[in-house]
Amino acid sequence: MSPWRPAWPRPAPLLFLGALLFALPGPLPAWPAMAQAPVAPPPAPSAAPSAAPPRRPPAVAQLLPPPPPAPPGQPAAARPPLVAELSQAQVAITTGFSGTEVLVFGATERLLGAGGDEVLVIAQGPAQPMVVRRKIRVLGLWLNGASARFWRVPGYYFLTGTRPLAEMLSREERATKRIGLGALPLEAAGNQSQEFREALLELKQDAGLWHEEGTMHIAGARLFRASLPLPATVPTGDYLVQVLLVRDGRVVARQELSFRVGRAGTAARIADVAKVQPVVYGLLCILLAALAGWLGSVLFRRG
Amino acid sequence: MQVYLPIAEMSVDALLLLGIGFGVGWLSGLFGVGGGFLLTPLLILIGIPAPVAVASGANQTLGASVSGLIAQWRRGNVDPRMGGVLLAGGFLGSGLGVLLFAWLRRLGQVDLAVSVFYVVILGSVGGLMVRESVRAILRRRRQGGPARLHAHLWMHGLPFKLRFRKSRLYISVIPPLLVGFGIGVLSAMMGVGGGFMLVPAMIYLLGMPTAVVIGTSLFQVVFVAANVTLLQAVQTGSVDIVLTLLLLVGGVAGAQFGASMGSRLRGEETRALLGLLVLGVALSLLWGLVVTPESEFAVGPMPL
């Protein structure tokens, strides 16, 4: 269970302190959020295509209110045009977490590919307030100068499609539906210069937290699959995954899925105590550090 | 082997942290200082956010100094009265330092402030140490003859005199209070125990005998570091216990090797080497401030 297993020959003190390190958190509690069911859409009564191995009953994609209303005589499509599912509803950040992947997969009613239907997958992490600062040189030293504050910056953004985004949707469609990194609604306070926005985009992409990628995997012209890479620095919170069905350059159907990234086990406990009871946590840190030092002194004397 | 640090919210190679702890512990055993001044910059260098590095550095210093303090106390090398006076100043200083730290964090200048503090303090302390020890080595080469214990300065005319029996001193409480206060501010700002500044200050400013200096400075360092840990945990919430314990595990082992090696070196040589090390850290941090950054922009979380 414990990922912490040193591989080098270690003297007794290390073993002892190592044991102390893992004795601290106690039994791993069930992560509280696990108990609540994830946002699972109600089971679909209609027979959905059982192409993807569904762990939960797959959800029916809601048809977007289509810009031209459907002809009155024609009933709504019996078969959903799009079904999608996630490989997991939670990502647990444990003490050994070093990044992971969440799989988005699904199927379409019509054939996928050029000329046919196309699929876009957009995943967004919880919004965080961020500050972008420009470094300036004063007396030969680099320091933080003017800044722009962005109140709602997605901590994670991932977009992929069956074709590159620019080929699937026109610029206007992307702008009105706010699809793609270029169309992210980032309202800034402070310095309004476009440079700060661009710097934010660039730095987030460098950190591996924002991606806009090429093509996803298609099988049999009906099944699609995309993996969302979550790096070790991924922020915790609720993630929203939108799967969009694109037909003739328009978004015609959409399904929303969600998963949650949370700390689990030891990491969760430590972070909770530190946040909820900082005084207790501070005292605990002092005690533990002193205890480790004292143990060291005991072992010194013997040695 | 990656370990997720719950407060820093990132995962780091556990072996790297153990290695850093070991190396710093080795040096601190060798030179008889806490090693916080090396640890915090190293942590910042491997990508730990400055607030977490500073707060956890203070916590690590506490652990690393406890074993030394116990050993010194047993040998009767601690002057509790002098330690208490230094501590009173240290508590006030570290309280102010943590407030200052939180204020700089809101301004977005905390990384700069930490670096500048390091460059200025380490640069001057390192320079003084090298100069003093080179002089001592040269003096010894020429001929023996110890210098005076301490000179009588203007500060010996200050009021509120107190007798410090263990230190064989009868001086005003104002200089030790001020020394403690200054070190307290710096330890909160820099995440160091302040041993490397306190020891020279006690020898040269207060004129304490060398025998009780190490023990008494450890006494002050342990309590100030505990205070800083608590204040940082409450004020900025940036003490990472996983980080601290990993560093301590490496540090305790490293100190063992360092201490046995240190006993084979002469005092002046040790001080000269330590001075060079301190200067080296200062120069590398200065380089970081002066060199053109890769990106013109930096992005960070909105401070509270």
pLDDT tens-place string over residues B33-92: 767 778 888 888 888 888 888 889 888 888 888 877 887 788 888 888 888 888 899 889
Identify the H or E element spanning B211. Answer: helix B210-235
* Contact between chains at A286 and B71 (C-beta distance less than 8 A): no
A38-42, B61-65, B196-200: least confidently modelled range? A38-42
Reference B228, options B94, B101, B117, B50; nearest CA is: B94
pLDDT tens-digit series, residues A100-141: 889 999 988 888 877 788 888 999 888 888 888 888 888 877
Q: Which of B108, B232, B256 lies nearest to residue A147, judging by beta carbons?
A: B108
Q: Which of B69, B245, B246 to mutate to test the interface with A (most CBs of A within 10 A)?
A: B245
- Tell me the C-alpha distance between A81 and A78, whole Å: 9
A286 band by pLDDT with thresholds 50, 70 and 90 = very high
* Contact between chains at B7 and A142 (C-beta distance less than 8 A): no
Per DSSP, the residues of A153-207 read EES-EEEEESS-HHHHS-HHHHHHHT-SGGG----EEE---HHHHHHHHHHHHHT
A10-14, B15-19, B221-225, B231-235: least confidently modelled range? A10-14
**What was the pLDDT predicted at A166?**
80
pLDDT tens-digit series, residues B104-114: 877 777 777 87
- Tell me the C-alpha distance between A243 and A251, whole Å: 10
Q: How many CB pairs under 8 A join A and B?
A: 219
* Contact between chains at B299 and A275 (C-beta distance less than 8 A): no
Mean predicted confidence (pLDDT) in A73-89: 74
- Tell me the C-alpha distance between B216 and B206, whole Å: 12
Cα torsion B126, B128, B131, B132: sign:
negative
* Contact between chains at A274 and B6 (C-beta distance less than 8 A): yes
Q: For chain A, what is the mean pLDDT?
A: 73
- State which fold the A82-262 domain adopts: Immunoglobulin-like (2.60.40)
Each domain of chain A, given as residue ranges in start order, spans 1-31+264-303, 82-262
Rounded to the nearest angstrom, the minimum Cα separation between B116 and chain A is 10
Per-position b or e across A243-271, b if 16+ CB within 10 A of its CB: bbbbeeebbbbbbbbbbbbbbbbbbbbbb
Measure the CA dihedral B248/B251/B256/B258, to 10°.
-160
Mean predicted confidence (pLDDT) in A45-63: 44
**What was the pLDDT predicted at B304?**
57
Contacts of A154 in chain B (CB under 8 A): none
Between these two residues, A10 and B166, which has the higher pLDDT value? B166
pLDDT tens-digit series, residues B256-289: 777 777 667 776 777 788 888 888 888 888 887 8
* Contact between chains at A97 and B11 (C-beta distance less than 8 A): yes
- Tell me the C-alpha distance between B301 and A139, whole Å: 27
Q: For chain B, what is the mean pLDDT?
A: 80
- Tell me the C-alpha distance between B304 and A299, whole Å: 43
Per DSSP, the residues of A26-91 read -SPPPPHHHHSPP-PPPPPSS-----S--SSPPPPPEEP--SSPPPTTSPPPSS-SEEEEES-SEE
Contacts of A280 in chain B (CB under 8 A): none
Q: How many CB atoms lie within 10 A of CB B86?
A: 32
Task: Assess whether pLDDT exceeds 70 at residue A2.
Answer: no
Rounded to the nearest angstrom, the minimum Cα separation between A149 and chain B is 8
Task: Assess whether pLDDT exceeds 50 at residue A60.
Answer: no
Please tell me the pTM assigned to this model: 0.69
Cα torsion A248, A250, A254, A260: sign:
positive
Q: Which of A149, A199, A296 lies nearest to residue B67, judging by beta carbons?
A: A296
pLDDT tens-digit series, residues A243-259: 989 888 888 888 999 99
The residues near A206 (Cβ < 8 Å, ≥ 6 apart) are: B295
Task: Assess whether pLDDT exceeds 80 at residue A204.
Answer: yes
Angle among Cα A46, A52, A57 to the nearest 5 degrees reads: 40
Task: Assess whether pLDDT exceeds 80 at residue A21.
Answer: no
Contacts of A270 in chain B (CB under 8 A): 6-7, 241-242
CA A285 to chain centre: 31
**What was the pLDDT predicted at B156?**
62
Length of chain B: 304
CB-based contact, B19 to chain A, within 8 Å: no
Measure the CA dihedral A175/A178/A181/A187, to 10°.
100
The residues near B247 (Cβ < 8 Å, ≥ 6 apart) are: B17, B18, B20, B21, B24, B39, B56, B60
Mode of pairing for the β-strands spanning A90-93 and A250-263:
parallel
- Tell me the C-alpha distance between A281 and A108, whole Å: 51
CB-based contact, B267 to chain A, within 8 Å: no
**What was the pLDDT predicted at A287?**
93
Query: Can you state the angle between helices B241-262 and A12-23, rounded to 10 degrees?
Result: 160
